[in-house]
Every structure is written in structure tokens, then in C-alpha cells.
Structure 1
Amino acid sequence: MSGSIIFINLAGAVALLLWATRMVRTGIERAYGEVLRERMRSALSNPFKAAVAGFFLAIALQSATAVALIVSGFTASGYVAATIGISALLGADLGSAFVTRILRRDLSLLVPIFLIAGTIAYRTTARRWQEMGRIFFGLGLLLLSLRLIGEASQPLKDSHVLPIIMGYLEQDWVTAFALAALLAWLFHSSVATILLLASLASHGLVPPVLIIPFVLGVNFGGAVIGAMLTRGDEKAARIVPLGNVLIRGFGMVFALALQLVWKFDLTVHFATPADAIVWLHVAANAIVMVLGLPFAGTVAGLLDKWIADPKKDDGEEMTQLSALNPSDLTNPPRALDNATREIIGMCDRIEVMLTRIFDAFLHPDEPQMKQIERLDDSVDRFNREIKLYLAKIAAGDLNADAARRQQELIEATINLEQVGDIISQSMLIKARKKQARGASFSEQGLKELTTMHQRVVRNARLAFNLIVNRDLDHARQLVAEKEIVREMVRNSEENHIRRLGGNVTSIDSSSIHIDTMRDLKEINSLLVSIAYPVLAQAGQLRTSRLL
């Protein structure tokens, strides 16, 4: 078999592994993303708990990088301190490594079972079951890809080039380390890279002396991924992944230096080279976590001093650049795309406002409340500039589809601006009123409000995505949420009236509770309206609710 055919087969198997890993992760994020985020957020109270939470979340998502992005977002939003965020990532690194140990077991019998279960689940009409089908099918493809990698790599035993490359790397461990780090960064997955190396090692294609440099390099490259993906974010979001690079990366470089001096041979301790790769990967991350947790606070403090502060808060424009390029007004399709990009920036601010307003109810903080007000000013500016920009597009140059899209964007912008007003001019006032009265929600009332808020936040993200992807299934799902939220408000009000019989806590916060539920309901209705044009264009929107 020629070298090119071997490479194509191996590349295809690796591509399937990467795609399957992504399929599983997206399925879990869509089905259980909000639950995982909320539980993760509630667990980030101290470094040890944060590390444990990061460990389990990385196992669920099969990716430490995904955890890095989630925790960086929490840190940027002020939910957790950078020290806690770095601790969570150290735990996530170990969780990601543990995933490779699970997947290296002989699970070939599960391939057809997962594929069949995934197909059946995906063919149902329930959205949650469809996402479960995505997860099962992705797991089946993932295990199948590991088998294909093994089969594709077998002919490499007879390769004349591979021994030359490996022979050189055996003499240059630093290059081997750098090559493995580059491979992990290119794959954007240390899990996939370790599984590939383990599969190659099981066929005798990885020399024992390269196991340690390769594994250490993969871990260094895996740490860099999160830092690269957040390099354009604000300072608070960058501290966490960079802290992980300093601790995990320094640990791997230090371990490589020890290997250059002492030249450990791990193969004598394991049955196969593949086992040595996987267990070294787990052990390296476990050691880094244990030794690194005590230094998380020190690293966070150093990075806070070293990283340049843009000296902007969330209420100001994150950048003076705007997608609303006046020169594109003569090209309507491009101008509409520009407006869509600008609306996404508006959505980002709305999401921050919607997320933080609930914290203002639970933990009143005047600087945070002022920040919400500044965000609303920013949303108002977006609304004004986007509408003026869309109005300048020459109507005579628009075809029917473009004219309809122009109107949809204007309506979406208006609705988003109204959402911002409800948060800043209604909900924020209630938060201050609750603080002034010293009132508190009853345990059941708080649970109802929390559930309602989480659902509206999830619907907001779905609506924001719909502005870009115009997915019909997502539009139907979003519109279905309107009746669900209406029923939640109705049940909450009935329960609240019953609690007023003797619960002093409910009496003190009665009007705030009911009005907040109705504010969230109104916000949800405005967000749902973003789906109407998509359904109308597909002929799936009734003109009236009346029978």
C-alpha cells in the first residue's frame, strides 16, 4: 500500500475521531448545557470544590478546552474569582485525561449498540431525545474511529520513512515535545491526540523513549488551546486559561527537563506502550493538579499585574470598531450581513444584563447595578445606530428577500432594545426596592424564580443564534417555549397566593416576586418574536391564536 493511501486512511480516521468528539460535546451542551453550567457555577466556592467540579464537567464534555471557555466566561462576568477558575481548569485537565483511560478500554461491542440507539433516539420528535441520539451516535462513531485508526496505522509498520523520523526524534526530545504540542493544538483536543498516539503505540509505531516527551508535549499543547481561543477577550477572561498554561505548561516543561537528565523508562511498569501513554497522561495531570492548586492564587495575582488592562468596562463599547461600514450601503447583501454582525454584539450585552440582573436580586451590589445601567446605554446606542444604518440601505436596490430580511433585523433590534429596557428600568428598580426593604424570597419562591430565569436565559441564547442561523427547528422550539413560560408564570402566581396565607417572607416580597415573574415572561415573549419571521417564511405561523 502506498504512503499516500495510508496517510489518507489515517487522516480520515482521525477526522472521524475529531468529528465524533465534537458531536458528543455539542449534544451534551444542547441537552444539558444549562444544567451543567448552573451546577458548575454553584460548585465554584473554593479551589478544591472547583477542581472536583472541573473534573466531572470535563468528563461530561470530553474536553478540558470547553470547560476553560465556560469558566473564563464565569470569571469575566464576575461570578468567580480567577483563583477558583484556574483551580477548576486544573481539575478539568485531569478529567479530560481520565476520559482517554475510559475510551482505551475494549468497547467495540458498544459501537453497533450506540449507533442503533442514536438513530432511534434522533428520529423521535422530542428535542431532548434528539440530542440524546446525537450523543449516542457520536459515541458510536468515536469508538469506531479508534478502530479505524488502528487498522489504518498497521501498514505503517512497513514504512521506510516513519523509522527515519522516529529515529531522529529519539535523539531530539525537545523537538518531539514541540511536535506533540503542535499536534494537540492543531487537533484542538488533547483527548484525540493521546488516543491517536496510544493507537499508534499499540502497533509498535511509537518508540518507548518517546512516550514521555510526546505525552508531555500533548499536555503543553492542550493547555495552550484555551489561551489561544480567549486571546481577544477581556482581561478577566484571559487570566484563567493563561494561568492554566503557566501551571500545567511549566509542569510539563519541568518534567521534560527531568526526563532529559534522568531518562526514565516507563514501559517496564506497564503491560503495553499504549497503557504507558494513557496512564502517564493521567498521572501527569494528577500531579500538576495536586502541586498546582496551592499556587493558583499566586499565579492569578501575577497575571492580573502582567496582563494589560484595556480600562474598559462592560457598559462601554468593547471596541471602537463597528461592523456598520458605510461604504457597503450600496451593496445591500453585504450591508445586511454587517447589520447582523452588529446585532450579535448587541445580543452579547443583553445576555450579560440578563444573567447579572438575577445576581442583583440575590446579592445586591451597587457597582454591578451601575454596570447593568451602562450596558443598557450601550444597547440603546446599538439600537439607534443599527436602525439608522438599515434605513440608509437603498430600498430600490433590495429584492423581496433582502427587503424582508431588512425588516426582520429592524424588528429584532427593537425587541432587543425593549428587553434591555425591561431589565434596567423595571427589574433593576425591583432589585433596589428589595434591597431597601430588606426583603427576601421564600425558599419555594426563589426556586420558582431561579427556574424561570434559567429558562429565559436559555431561550435568549436560542433566539440570538436564530438571528444568524434561521434554523426552522430552533424557531419552532423557541415559539413552543412561549406557552411553557406562560404556564410557569400562572403556576407560580397561584403557588405564591397560597403561600401568602402565613409565610411572612412571601408577604414581604410578594409584589416583587409577581412583577419579576411577569417581567421575565415579557422578556421571553420579545425573544420568541424573533422566531416568527422564520416560521412565517416557511408557512408555519398562524395569523391568529383564535380557533
Structure 2
Amino acid sequence: MLHLLNLLAAIALLVWGTHNVRTGMLRVFGERLRSVLQASLRQRLAAVAAGFGVTSLVQSGTATCLILASFVGKGLVPAGAALAAMLGADLGSAAMAVVFSLDLSWWSPLLLFTGVVLFVSRQASAAGRVGRVLIGLGLITLALQLIAQATQPMMASPALRTLLAALPAELTLDIAVGAALTVLTYSSLAIVLLVAALAEQGLLPGSAALGFVIGANLGSALLALLATRAAPPAERRLPAGNLVFKLGGALVAAALLPLLQPLLAQAWPDAGTRVVAFHLVFNAALVLVFIGFTGPVGRLVEQLLPDAPPQRGDRPRHLDPSALATPSLAIACAAREALHQADLVETMVRGIVPVLRDNDLALAARLRRMDDAVDELYVAIKFYLTQISQESLSERESRRWTDIVSFTIEMEQIGDAVERALQDIEDRKIRKQRRLSAAGMAEICDLHERLLGNLRLAMSVFLDGDLDGAQRLLQEKARFRDLERHYAARHLGRLRENTASSVETSSLHLDLLSELKRINSHLCSVAYPILESAGALADTRIRPAAAAAAAEQPAR
């Protein structure tokens, strides 16, 4: 029983090690990996090379598949080009299995020691994230040693040998079990390494081990398909096309396995080496055979999975659940949805003046209903962001995560402010059949036009984090505040002159000026995180002399 527990613990350590390497690499290279993939998909061979390189780094063909699927879903690349990259990704995963199958026992203590020192001493830096990757690599090599040690006593058990001999030699069952284990552990690399270790110790017959490898390859394709099951049809095309390649390869490999086994045994007498070599040969054959069919298969899956009909404009469009496994991609999805929310807010803000000028109750009601959609998007974006693994985010991505949350909060509060303003216009002007003075209407229109300009600037600053834009936005806040005060003073002047329309709508006029200023303040808040990270914010706006006088005031 103790040996079985040791084996299970070693398997868990192997899975955890591959998870650590994957998340660590995504934190170090996440955004750059996306850029490399996107830039390399124009030619088939370059796409294969890019897929190979990226997957060799992140130790996960599934993660690469999800990144590529998002590109296909957004129309950035055709499905055929992404399928070529996926062939390279699967080959990269197989190559890493070969590397880890080598005798790396002396690497394990070195990797663990170096990784822990880097991670503990410089956890928040890039060196700390590299340390996390080294810890994962050390755990993988250590787990493989522990699996070998745990299986040696088990092999001496006559009961276990009798049980293994009694197992049916059913290739279909072996493939199914290999696929199921891959889906459960979320890692074909871990399963192939485990099968190689068990085969080397004699716990798995040669034919069963090779069947498990075929199943692990099928399982990796199924895993990506399951991860994108809730995604739009366009994003499911790549996993579906990859599954077509894997199914074709699995059928051919299963049919030829009786002929291949003697050749493999002759080329690689060691059972463990034979397993990882077969895994590499299988994926290399897929590249050679199917590289010429990526275009036709891409067009086939496009026909089988046509684009979904357009969604309602007020529903979440970009919160892709399948992207959550790749944090850098999920952050990009959340940012796009935040801009969608801002588009709805812009429509609401733009409608204030038409409602005020034309007494349009129908437009006012429609705009106020849009606030519910803005609130729903805020809740959806916030929930989506909470599902992103914080440990997989780089420092820059963590800041972006915070910026997105702050931006959506500001947009939600602007929506509430617009709804209040529209309700005031309905209750205190339209239904009471009052009108603003010509001068008062001109003042509100001027502030409103400035507000729309600041809204567009705030969206631009949020999108690209431009420091100059953030500084201009904060300067606009001061100008807007001064202008609001100026217009309020002019309105009071008209009251002293007993202008009838100004007297009737005085309270509404001042409240609208105040509401527009409040909305502008929410917009300008977008600039603060950018200015703060650049060290461009002062501690206080109060002049030093005034601050000193204020500090002395209580003592007098």
C-alpha cells in the first residue's frame, strides 16, 4: 500500500511540475508568445516553427491551441495557417518528452535549489518568475526518479505480475484510457512521461504503452475541444481541425502498430526510450503528412462551423471562457469587453443633449434602459477577471488587470450619472413643459461637446496607456472644472436679471452642470494609474504656502 501511495504522489508531483512550468512560462513570455505566433502565421513552415518553439517553452500544446484559436475566432488568421502552427506545437511537446526522458537526475537538485533561491529572494521580479519555471523543471525530473523508485518494489510482487499478465491486450481500450488520463491531468506530456517510466520498469507491456501514447495524443486534441466548447463557432475551428489530424494519425498508427512494434524494438531496445521515440515519430509523421492539407481542412471546418449570427449589441462579446487558461489572452479579452462597455456609455452620454433639446421621452427611456446593459457588462467583466489565475499574471498584466477593473467601475458610475441626468430632464423640464434659456442651452452644449472629446480621449488612454494622453486628460479636468464654475456664475448673473426661463429651470441647469462635471471626473480617473506608475503625480494640488497655512490654522 505504501508503494502505491508513493507512486500516486510521484504522479501528482509530475503533473504539478508541468503545471508550474506552463504557468511560469506564460508569466515570463505571455504577451511576447502571442506576438511571435501572430507574426509567424503567414507561411506554413514558419507557422510550424513558431508552434514548435512556443510549445517547447510553455510545455503545453493546449495553451498554444487556445491562443491560436482566439486568433482564428477574431479573424486575425485563417484556420489553415493556425492548423500548421498546431502541427508544430504537437511536435514541440513530443520533443520535450524526449528531453525529459533523458537521465537528468543530476539536474533535479540543481534546478530546485536555483529556482527556490530565485523565487524566494526576488519573487516579484522577472528573475523570480524564471525561478518558478526552474522549480517546475526540477519537480518534473524529481518526479520521474520517484516513479522509477516506487515501481521497483511493486515489480517484485508476484500478484501484480499475475494481474498484468491477465489484462486483455486490447489496443482500443489502451487508447481510450490514455485519452481519458490526458483529459483528467490536463497534460499529454505528463502522461507520456508516466507511461515511459512505467514501461521502463516493466509495469506496462510494450503494445499497451504505445496504445497509451496514441491515446495521449488524441486526449490533447479532445482537451482543447472541451476547453473551447462554450466559445463562438469560429474559435472552435482550430481544435476541431486538430482533432481531425489526430484522429487520422491515430487510425493509421493503430492499424500499422503490429508492423511498427518490431521495428521500434529493434531501433530502441529500451522500453522507456521506445515510448517517447514513438511519440516523437508519431507527431513528426503528422507534420510531414498533413502539412499539405492544412488549407483544405481549414476550409472544411469553416464550413462545418460557420460564424454565429450577430449578438445583441448590449451583450458580452469578447469574454471567451476558453481564454481563461491563458491569462495574457484573457486580459486582452476583458480589455476589449471594457471598450464595448465604454461604447454603450458613449451612446448614453451622446444622447443627453438631443433629449434636452428635443424633449424626446422615447429616446430618454431607451437610453436609461441602456444603463442596465452597462451594469450587466460591468458584472460580467468583473466576474470574468476574478476567474483569471493571479499567479500566472506578470507584473505588467497584474497592473492591466487592476486598470480594467477601475475602468469598468468608472464606466458603470458614468452610466448611473447619465441615467440620473435623463430622469431629471424628464421630471423637471419635459413633463413640466419648461425650456432653458438660449444662453443656458449653449453652455450645456459646449460642456457636453468637451465631455464627448474627453470620453474619446479616456478610451484611447485606456487602450494604449499613453502617458501624453493621460497628462492631457488631467489638464482637461482642470479646464472643465473652471469652465463649469464660469457657466454657473453666468447663470447666477441671469438670475439676478430675472430672466424668466433661467428662473424656471435654475435648479435643473445647475444640477446638469454639476452632473457633467462629475461624469468628466470619472473619465479623468482613467489617467491616474498611468501617471502614478510613471511617477508623474504630485502628492497634493495645494500650493506649499497654502498647505503650511492650513496646517497652522488649528493651533491659532
TM-score by length of 1: 0.63
1:168-317 equivalent positions in 2, closer than 5 A:
168-169=166-167, 171-259=169-257, 264=262, 266-307=264-305, 309-313=307-311, 315=313, 317=315
Alignment identity in percent?
Answer: 29
Question: Which one of 444, 456, 462 corresponds to residue 426 of structure 1?
Answer: 456
AA at the equivalent of 2:130: M
1:381-426 CA deviation, whole Å, 9 max, x = no partner?
88644649999xxxxxxxxxxxxxxxx9996533356999999973
Question: Aligned partners of 1:409 and 1:75: how far apart in 2?
Answer: 24
1:85 aligns with 2:82: yes
What is the aligned partner in structure 2 of residue 6 from structure 1? Answer: 3
Which letter does structure 2 place at the counterpart of 1:352? R
Identify the range of structure 1 (184-193 vs 161-170) with the bigger mean alpha-carbon deviation: 161-170
Which one-letter code corresponds to 2:62 in the other structure?
T
Amino acid at match of 1:525: A
Provide the C-alpha distance between the structure 2 equivalents of 1:249 and 1:424, rounded to a whole number of angstroms.
54
Structure 1: how far apart are the matches of 2:127 and 2:8?
Answer: 32
SS in 2 for 1:312: coil
Q: Secondary structure at the match of 1:282?
A: helix
Spell out the pairing of 1:449-460 with structure 2 (5 A cutoff): 456=465
- Mapped partners of 2:312, 2:82: distance in 1: 20
Partner of 1:326: none
The answer to whether 1:525 aligns with 2:532 is no
1:60-99 deviation line (CA, Å, top 9, x unaligned): 0011111011111111122211111111111100000000
> 1:177, 1:216 within 8 Å by CA — same for their partners in 2?
yes
Please state if 1:16 is matched with 2:13. yes
Which string of whole-angstrom CA distances, capped at 9 and with x for unpartnered residues, describes residues 100-152 of structure 1?
11111112222222122112212126521221121112221221111111111
Residue 351 of structure 1, CA deviation: 2.2
Letter in 2 for 1:106: D
User: CA-to-partner distance for each residue in 1:292-337, whole Å, 9 max, x for gaps?
Assistant: 1211121122222223643135956258x9xxxxxxxxxxxxxxxx
2:22 to 17, 21, 25: 25
Q: 1 CA distance for matches of 2:9 and 2:348? A: 47
1:171 partner SS = coil
Shifted more, 186-195 versus 103-112: the winner is: 103-112
Contact 1:111–1:141 (8 Å) recurs in 2: yes
Cα RMSD between the aligned structures? 4.4
In structure 1, list runs of 5 or more residues that go unmatched: 322-345, 358-369, 392-407, 431-448, 457-484, 491-520, 532-540
Structure 1 contact 412–530 (Cα < 8 Å) conserved: no
User: 1:138 is matched by which residue type in structure 2?
Assistant: G
Change (3 A) 1:309 1:527: farther
Counterpart residue number, 2:111: 114
Letter in 1 for 2:19: R
CA shift at 1:36, angstroms? 1.5
TM-score (norm 2): 0.62
Distance 2:169 2:259 in 1: 14
Q: Deviations over 1:206-247 (max 9, x none)?
A: 212323322212111122111111111011110001110111
SS at match of 2:292: helix
User: How far does the alpha carbon of each residue in 1:165-187 deviate from its partner, in whole angstroms, 9 at most, with x for none?
Assistant: 54355521111121111112211
Please say if residues 7 and 147 of structure 2, whose CA atoms lie closer than 8 Å, have aligned partners that are also in contact: yes
Matches of 2:453 and 2:110 in 1, distance apart? 48
Matched with 1:414 is 409
AA aligned to 1:133 is G
Deviations 1:488-543 (A, max 9, x none): 999xxxxxxxxxxxxxxxxxxxxxxxxxxxxxx97963666999xxxxxxxxx997
User: Structure 1 residue 352 and structure 2 residue 336: aligned?
Assistant: yes
Name the larger-Rg structure: 2
Q: Specify the code of the residue in structure 2 equivalent to 1:124.
A: R
Taking a change above 3 Å as real, the CA distance of residues 198 and 347 of structure 1, as seen in their structure-2 partners, is: closer
Equivalent pair of 1:28/1:60 in contact (CA under 8 Å) = yes
Change (3 A) 1:310 1:153: same
**Which of 28, 32, 36 matches 1:35?**
32
Listed as ranges, the matches of 1:432-451 within 5 Å are none
Query: Hey, what's the Cα distance between the residues in 2 that align with 1:287 and 1:419?
Result: 57
Closer/same/farther in 2, CA of residues 184 and 271 from structure 1, 3 Å limit:
same
* 1:128 aligned residue: 126
Whether the 8 Å contact between 2:344 and 2:370 is mirrored in structure 1 is no
Q: How many residues align?
A: 401
1:365-395 deviations in whole A, cap 9, x for unaligned? Answer: xxxxx9996898799988644649999xxxx
Contact 1:353 1:423 in 2 (8 A): no
Match of 1:518 in 2: none
Contact 2:25 2:57 in 1 (8 A): yes
Shift in CA distance, 378/32, structure 1 to aligned 2, threshold 3 Å: farther
Whole-Å Cα distance in 2 between the matches of residues 423 and 40 of structure 1?
A: 36
- 232-241 or 75-84, which deviates more: 75-84
Counterpart Cα distance in 1 of 2:305 and 2:42:
25
**Alpha-carbon spacing, 1:42–1:151, altered in 2? closer, same or farther (3 Å):** same
Aligned mates of 2:209, 2:129 — CA distance in 1: 37
Higher relative contact order (CA 8 A, sep 6+): 2
> Which of 54, 59, 80 is the aligned partner of 2:56?
59
Q: Mean alpha-carbon deviation: is it higher for 71-80 or for 124-133?
A: 124-133
Give the secondary structure class of the aligned counterpart of 1:266.
helix
Structure 2 residue runs without a partner (length 5+)? 320-329, 350-366, 380-402, 416-450, 472-522, 545-556
Q: Give the AA of the match of 2:16.
A: W
Q: SS at the partner of 1:45? A: coil
Structure 2 residue 94 is matched with structure 1 residue 97: yes
Distance in 1, matches of 2:81 and 2:93, equals 18
